[in-house]
Each structure stands twice: as C-alpha cells, then as structure tokens.
C-alpha cells in the first residue's frame, strides 16, 4: 500500500471528470487533494471507480468531499482484504482538516476580514441542509 502521489491523484480525478462530464473548479480540486493526499492509492482508485459507477449527476456538480468519503466507506465495506493502512486512512478521514470538524470556516479570500462559509465536508453539508430545511419550513407556514 502506498500513499497516493499528486500525479496519480490528478490522473484519477481527470478520469472521473471525463466519465461524469463535469469540470470541477481548481479550488475544488485543491480542497480534494488536500483532503485525500494521505490516503492510499488503492483506496482512492477504488473510490473513483465507485463514483463513476454510482454517482448521480442530478445537480451537475462535481462530487464533493463528503461524496468521496461516502465512496471510500462503501468500497471499504466491499473489500474483506482491508489492510490496517486502509482502516487508518478511513479513521483519519473522519475529521475534516479544513473546518476541523466544525462544518463552517472563515474564507479569508472573500471580502476584507473574510466571510463565514459552510464547509464542503459531510458536517458542513449537513449544517447547510439543516439551514435550507429551516427556511423551507418557514416559507410553508
Ligand atoms: Zn469541513
């Protein structure tokens, strides 16, 4: 098992881009690479194949960090020959390094002083969905 190299990571991402026919933003790719640069090549390769087979393209958005994590979990379940490194890799994945698991962070590139934004990780997307559900519920009342 080896940690994925930057070159292989971007090659696999390109394959996913072609398969889904969606062009991600450079910032998105940087976030994905930052997040999965310590994962094993084997698990990322499998996760990308899983996304190619299963990703639903209904929003025409490139898969987000949370969707990659979901794919990694799914491929982990399928392989009974998991190595300790794979399991380690998955444990590391549970705390988002961008928001430190909080789900929101200050984007300092946006306007002076930064703007608080929802993270692209599972926690961030959950917070975002909750907020949308709240506004939706208010609208119906
Ligand atoms: Zn996060």
> Which neighbouring-strand residues pair with 105?
117
Residue 11: band (very low, low, confident or very high) from pLDDT cuts 50, 70, 90 = very high
| Alpha carbons 131 and 80: distance in angstroms, whole number | 38
Q: Are 89 and 44 in contact (CB under 8 A)?
A: no
Is this model's pTM higher than 0.85 or not?
no
| Residues contacting residue 126 through CB under 8 Å, at least 6 positions apart | 103
Segment holding 116, helix H or strand E: strand 115-118
Whether residues 27 and 81 fall in one domain: yes
Q: State percent of the chain over pLDDT 70.
A: 87
* Residue 1 included in any domain: no
Q: Output the CA 3–ligand 1 centroid distance in Å.
A: 22
Q: Output the CA 98–ligand 1 centroid distance in Å.
A: 5
Q: Output the CA 72–ligand 1 centroid distance in Å.
A: 17
Split into its structural domains, the chain has a count of 2
Whether residues 13 and 57 fall in one domain: yes
List the domain range (segments joined by +) for residue 115: 104-140
Whether residues 43 and 63 fall in one domain: yes
Whether residues 21 and 80 fall in one domain: yes
Q: Output the CA 81–ligand 1 centroid distance in Å.
A: 29
Whether residues 11 and 75 fall in one domain: yes
Q: Output the CA 141–ligand 1 centroid distance in Å.
A: 32
Query: Tens digit of pLDDT for each residue in 29-83?
Result: 999 999 998 888 888 999 999 999 999 877 788 999 989 998 988 887 766 555 5
């Amino acid at each position: 098992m080896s940690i994925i190299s930057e070159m292989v990571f971007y090659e696999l991402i390109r394959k996913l881009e072609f398969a889904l026919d969606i062009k991600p933003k450079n910032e998105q790719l940087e976030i994905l690479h930052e997040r999965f640069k310590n994962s094993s090549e084997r698990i990322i390769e499998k996760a990308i194949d899983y996304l190619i087979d299963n990703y639903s393209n209904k929003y025409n958005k490139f898969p987000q960090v949370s969707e990659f994590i979901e794919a990694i979990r799914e491929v982990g379940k399928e392989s009974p020959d998991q190595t300790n490194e794979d399991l380690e890799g998955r444990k590391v994945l549970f705390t988002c390094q961008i928001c430190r698991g909080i789900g929101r962070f200050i984007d300092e590139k946006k306007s002076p002083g930064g703007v608080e934004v929802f993270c692209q990780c599972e926690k961030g997307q959950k917070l975002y969905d909750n907020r949308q559900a709240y506004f939706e519920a208010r609208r119906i009342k």
